[in-house]
A and B are shown apart, each in its own frame.
Chain A
């Protein structure tokens, strides 16, 4: 009986320790987060009342749940990191985190998570920071519903919104990032799941993959970023249902793919980018079922790209359809809808009877004399293009769509 009581008592203390709640408030007994974390036991729940807390380098070395009530402000006073997470299963929920340090040597972040797993960073508003949420050598973990915004307009002196370095299985969803260098930047990330994020108005890329294999990004909005989106040196990435819009500039792309293999680009919408899809050295990529509308160039594919398949895409009123730098073609175009197609369909099966050649003579002319761009949509150029399409001399002979669709391919949503 005695032992039983002792066991129950011990159990209860353990449980109560686990669910111990520590309240931090500006005018209460515990008025700083660092102090609260110091006092907290493993698994404690720390509730932070609203108010402003001027703290930085808040080091979290034990499993705690930090919850903000009515968005308390954690102001880093322009020095160092703000939260530094070095324990597994930490939750940071509902803070306004602002003013990290800035440095050319160290990457100061609003939330730095190092070498741990299963964290949750959610519902935070991160404002005027160098780096936003920085994951280094983490496993799993969730970053969701955060807003990150900063104001530096220079590429060299701004940091990344959500930065993933050498991580496994991260889940990044429903975040909004703007005004950073790269909205979301993945380096050596494996199997990242990136859903429903909005990454607009960043100085460089909205989303940037480097050496990050596997995973998928889906339903993200990537608009008006300095250089669009880049996926480089990565394999097996699924890029689905995203919106790449309004990325303008001489080196801006809706989607830049470089040295990637075995990936899928499908169900995306590319709208009014200077170049919708730019491919350099990519192999075996499926570009399927995308809507590519009103871009400067729909596709710019360098000759070192091979065995990429463009099927069932809608190419709608792009200023120019395809641009390439070689008379040879190692890629495959089939069954797309091209709004510039002028062929006919006698059998009535919905597929044009003459192939479509998406590389126009004019795009070759621009390649040699960029100034002639001013003649775009001129009648004279149209006549030249039509003549070239009938008797191709200068444009790649084998780059063509043998089965162009007569009607825009409708997408079932």
Chain B
């Protein structure tokens, strides 16, 4: 445990020295502040932040994760020569870079919300958006790690896959769902679209945002499955549970790969 915190602490230090993370937080700070200044009320701004979050956090997270693996190859290999438990080393490295990135987003976006009084007025909505951003960061940094370890020696391939996976999850996936809905429009599809959306972490986060801001629209659809799912706490529980699985899965795969890899 001591070793873990030591590694995490070191990572934090070197990241802060790099100033990259600070810049990332500043971007969100400026963005949120200008949205609040020029965009109007609380819900409007929170929805804009959530749009940005759903699109860019996955990309930044993955790029950041994979970049880290590539850039600190020598450092990691050096550490591996030491008598250190691989599991501890992995968690140290992962948490060491994922948590600063997460905090940068949360702090960057929360500060303007605080000084424009949105945190007090729309506290739960704001907490949801910020929390989801944080969770997405963790998920996608882990995915970046996995990709980096998979394509350890082939950077071009690694980055290529990163971009493709992001494009697929953030944009194309929903297009495919829409295509399916139109192709099989004559069948009852409620259950199907809910399950399929649950398989994509970005869609999961989007559904949770929807449950907060668009529940009135969701209640307009007459389907019983929809109403039961979104009308009760079931929707929140299932989406939250799936998000937890998504949180565990990539980092666990990363750990397995890291443990078995012959560096």
Tell me if B216 and A316 are in contact (CB < 8 A): no
A375, B177: Cβ atoms closer than 8 Å: yes
8 Å CB contact of A297 from B39, B40, B217: B217
Which of A99-107, A120-128, A189-197, A269-277 is the interface stretch?
A269-277
In whole angstroms, how far apart are the Cα atoms of A148 and B232 in the complex?
29
Please name all residues of chain B whose beta carbon is closer than 8 Å to the beta carbon of A246 when the two chains form the complex. 216
Q: A319-B214, A369-B182 are in contact. Are A374 and B220 (CB under 8 A)?
A: no
Chain A residues near B27 (CB, 8 Å)? none
Task: Answer yes or no: A28 CB below 8 A from chain B CBs.
Answer: no
Asked if residues B54 and A249 are in contact (CB atoms below 8 Å), the reply is no
Beta-carbon contact of A250 and B222 below 8 Å: yes
In the complex, A372→B121 CA distance in Å? 32
Instruction: Point out the residue from B40, B206, B219, B226 that lies within 8 Å of A408, measured CB to CB.
Output: B40
Tell me the minimal C-beta distance from B170 to chain A in angstroms: 6
A365 to B174, CA, bound (A): 14
- Write out the residue numbers on chain A whose beta carbons fall within 8 Å of the beta carbon of B189: 369, 371
Residues B223 and A379 in contact, CB atoms below 8 Å apart: no
**Do A374 and B194 touch (CB < 8 A)?**
yes
Q: Is A379 a contact of B197 with CB atoms below 8 Å?
A: no
Q: How far is the CB of B133 from chain A (nearest CB, A)?
A: 15
User: For the complex, what is the distance from the CA of A260 to the CA of B174, rounded to whole Å?
Assistant: 41
A368: nearest chain-B partner, CB-CB: B185
Q: Does B55 sit at the interface, judged by CB under 8 A?
A: yes
B221 x A373 contact (CB < 8 A): yes
Q: Which of B41-49, B103-111, B147-155, B248-256 contacts A (4 or more CB under 8 A)?
A: B41-49
Q: Does A230 contact B (CB under 8 A)?
A: no
Chain B, residue nearest A382 (CB): B51
Q: Is A134 an interface residue (CB 8 A)?
A: no
Which residues on the A side are within 8 Å of B47 (C-beta)? 317, 377
Q: Say yes or no: A320 contacts B217, CB within 8 Å.
A: yes
Q: Does any Cβ of A come within 8 Å of B172's Cβ?
A: yes
Give bound CA distance, A377 to B217, whole Å.
12
| CB of B30 within 8 Å of the partner chain | no
Query: Of the candidates B54, B175, B207, which one forms a contact with A374 in the assembled complex, judged by CB atoms under 8 Å apart?
Result: B207
| Residue among B172, B194, B214 with max Cβ neighbours from chain A (10 Å) | B214
A368 vs B218: C-alpha distance when bound (angstroms): 16
A296 and B216 contacting across the interface, CB-CB below 8 Å: yes
Given known pairs A317-B43, A317-B47, A379-B54, the reply for A274 and B216 (CB within 8 Å) is yes
Given A317-B47, A381-B174, A408-B40, A369-B181 contact (CB < 8 Å): yes
CB–CB B197/A274 < 8 A: no
Residues in A neighbouring B175, C-beta threshold 8 A: 380
Cross-chain contact of B219 among A296, A370, A372 (Cβ < 8 A): A296
* A377 and B210 within 8 A (CB): yes
Q: Are B216's CB and A376's CB within 8 A?
A: no
Interface string of A287-324 (1 = CB under 8 A from B): 00000011111000000000000000000110110000
- Most B Cβ at <10 Å: residue of A320, A365, A370, A383: A370
**Which residues from A are CB-within-8-Å of B80?**
none
A375 surroundings in chain B (CB, below 8 A): 174, 177-178
How far does the alpha carbon of A381 sit from the alpha carbon of B51 in the complex, in Å? 12
Per-residue CB contact flags for chain A residues 131-154 toward chain B (1 = under 8 Å, else 0) read 000000000000000000000000
In the complex, A356 Cα to B61 Cα: how many Å? 35
- Tell which of B178, B193, B217, B226 touches A274, judged by Cβ atoms closer than 8 Å: B217
Chain B hits for A408, CB < 8 A: 40-41
| Contact A273 B216, beta carbon cutoff 8 Å | yes
Interface residues of B in 8-65 (CB under 8 A from A): 39-41, 43-44, 47, 51, 54-55
Asked whether, in the complex, the Cβ of B220 is within 8 Å of the Cβ of A250, the reply is yes
A296 and B185 alpha carbons, distance in the complex (Å): 23
CA distance A378 to B178 in the complex (A): 11
Residues of chain B within 8 A (CB-CB) of A272 are 215-216
In the bound assembly, the distance between CA atoms of A378 and B203 in angstroms comes to 8
Partner of A378, one of B43, B181, B206, B227: B206
- Distance of B40 from chain A, by nearest CB (Å): 5
Q: How many angstroms from the CA of A407 to the CA of B39 in the assembled complex?
A: 8
Rounded to whole angstroms, the CA-CA distance of A293 and B214 in the bound complex is 11
Say yes or no: B190 contacts A371, CB within 8 Å.
Answer: yes
Query: Which A residue's beta carbon lies closest to that of B227?
Result: A250
Cα–Cα, bound, A219→B194 (Å):
41
Asked if A119 is at the interface (CB within 8 A of a chain B CB), the reply is no
A339 within 8 Å of B (CB atoms): yes
| B40 in contact with A370 (CB, 8 Å) | no
Tell me, in angstroms, the Cα distance from A284 to B173 when the chains sit together. 44
A248 on interface, CB distance cutoff 8 Å: yes
Partner of A249, one of B174, B206, B219: B219
A274 in contact with B44 (CB, 8 Å): no
* Cβ contacts under 8 Å, B219 to chain A: 248-250, 252, 274, 296
Given contacts A317-B44, A365-B178, A370-B222, contact A377 B216 (CB under 8 A): no
Can you report 28 residue pairs joining A to B where beta carbons are below 8 Å apart? Answer: A246-B216, A248-B215, A250-B222, A250-B227, A274-B217, A294-B43, A296-B214, A296-B218, A297-B217, A316-B43, A317-B213, A319-B217, A365-B178, A369-B181, A369-B182, A369-B189, A371-B193, A371-B223, A372-B177, A377-B206, A378-B174, A378-B206, A379-B54, A379-B174, A380-B171, A380-B178, A381-B174, A381-B178
Q: Which residues of B contact A (CB under 8 A)?
A: 39-41, 43-44, 47, 51, 54-55, 170-175, 177-178, 181-182, 185, 189-190, 193-194, 197, 203, 206-207, 209-210, 213-223, 226-227
Which 10 pairs between the two chains have the least Cβ-Cβ distance?
A: A296-B217, A319-B217, A380-B174, A378-B174, A296-B216, A274-B220, A248-B219, A250-B222, A319-B214, A371-B189
